[in-house]
A = this chain, B = another copy of it.
Amino acid sequence: MSALRPSAYAVLGWIAIEPMSGYDVRQRIRTSVGLFWNESFGSIYPTLQRLQDDGLTELVPGGDGDHPSRKVYAATAAGREALRSWLAIGPAATHSRNEFALKLFFGSMTDPAAIRAHVEEHLAEHQIALEELRATVARLESELGTDDSIPYRLLTARLGVALCETTVRWCEEARTTLDP
């Protein structure tokens, strides 16, 4: 029985906040910590199986019978305890694979117009992400006090906003610098 990977805790964490399906977990990860973490279905469903086998989650009645294949998972006491101890140990170093930054770095070795286009695209993407994150922050602020998880989720969203704002500002400056 090998140790659970961070991916497993990303899934378990959401289930511990609120019982939900694998499909839901994916949506939630995308729209909450999506900037910092993501999981594909091909990872989530096997992970869910593993969590079940280890007794960290359990199936609960799915509410409505609209989607018969839908399976709703909840965290067990053992699951919450596993999560608690994993969260307490120091996080592994972040390793990102930012292809945009890589291509920018080697930008002198291709067409300048191509790099300018990459910057524009990067800007557009981050402007969209920024709007979404700001909406998330506003929503979480209004939900303060309703759930213990909100303050932490808010902090994370605010980090996302701050990083996106910085990226957007940098893109706008870079656009000027790279202007032909």
Contact = CB atoms under 8 A, between A and B. Distances in A.
Interface of A: 6, 9-10, 13, 16-17, 32-33, 35-38, 80, 83-85, 87-111, 114-115, 117-118, 121-122, 147-153, 155-156, 158-159, 162-163, 165-167, 169-170, 174, 177-178
A100 B27 CA distance: 20
Contacts of A91: 99-100, 102-103, 118, 122
Contacts of A152: 104-108, 115
What are the nearest 8 A-B pairs in CB distance?
A: A36-B101, A96-B96, A107-B152, A87-B110, A91-B99, A36-B98, A88-B114, A13-B106
Contacts of A169: 162
A44 to B, nearest CB: 15
Contacts of A13: 102, 105-106, 109
A32 B105 contact: yes
B102 A118 contact: no
Contacts of A149: 106, 108-109
A7 B44 CA distance: 26
B177 A101 contact: no
A10 B101 contact: no
B96 A97 contact: yes
Given A13-B102, A87-B107, A101-B156, 14 more contacts: A6-B97, A32-B105, A36-B96, A37-B101, A38-B95, A85-B110, A88-B111, A91-B102, A94-B96, A94-B97, A104-B155, A155-B174, A159-B174, A162-B170
A46 B170 CA distance: 35
B153 A105 contact: yes
B102 A9 contact: yes
